[in-house]
């Protein structure tokens, strides 16, 4: 039998893998190419999700400074897809370590003066990752026709 935290983490891990899969096989140029008026691109989504992982788990749950990613979806041309992938994987691993260390979905977490719990953080990151995974799905299909998880 799996615990609630294991189930939540498994759901998040599946979404994370889906996001990384959308980068697979893309050139540096295509990963930065937008097919929508907002300018959103897959590389930018990964950079932003890296920041979100670091913000929510490292800063808000663990009390450390954000160490990875950027809130912006504009990726510096000097940043490679290899480094984006590695940074996202490192942020996810750090998040998973924090989840394991905390170990209790009821663990209190304070955000903007309000107390929540680790479960609330996990659900928020699942929602953020799912939303952007959907964006990546659409952009990837528009880029080269690739669909599916």
- pLDDT above 80: residue 149: no
User: Is 148 contained in some domain?
Assistant: no
Per-residue pLDDT tens over the stretch 13-34: 999 999 999 999 999 999 999 9
User: Is 98 contained in some domain?
Assistant: yes
CA distance 41 to 27: 12
Per-residue pLDDT tens over the stretch 49-105: 999 999 999 999 999 998 888 888 899 999 999 999 999 999 999 999 999 999 999
User: Is 57 contained in some domain?
Assistant: yes
Parent domain of 10: 4-143
User: Is 112 contained in some domain?
Assistant: yes
User: Is 116 contained in some domain?
Assistant: yes
User: Is 149 contained in some domain?
Assistant: no
The CATH number of the domain where 46 resides is what?
1.20.120.450
Provide the domain count of the chain.
1
CA distance 42 to 62: 28
User: Is 8 contained in some domain?
Assistant: yes
CA distance 74 to 32: 8
User: Which residues contact residue 21 at a Cβ distance below 8 angstroms, ignoring those fewer than 6 apart?
Assistant: 149
């Amino acid at each position: 039998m799996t615990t609630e935290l294991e189930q939540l983490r498994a759901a998040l891990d599946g979404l994370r893998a889906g996001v990384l899969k959308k980068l697979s096989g893309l050139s540096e140029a295509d990963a930065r190419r937008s097919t929508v008026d907002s300018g959103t691109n897959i590389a930018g989504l990964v950079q932003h999700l890296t920041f979100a992982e670091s913000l929510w788990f490292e800063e808000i749950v663990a009390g450390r400074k954000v160490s990875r990613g950027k809130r912006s979806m504009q990726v510096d041309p000097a940043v490679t897809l290899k480094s984006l992938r590695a940074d996202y994987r490192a942020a996810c691993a750090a998040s998973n370590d924090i989840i394991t260390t905390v170990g209790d979905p009821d663990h209190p977490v304070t955000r903007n003066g309000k107390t929540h719990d680790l479960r609330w953080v996990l659900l928020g990151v699942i929602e953020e990752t799912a939303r952007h995974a959907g964006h990546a799905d659409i952009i990837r299909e528009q880029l080269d026709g690739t669909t599916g998880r």
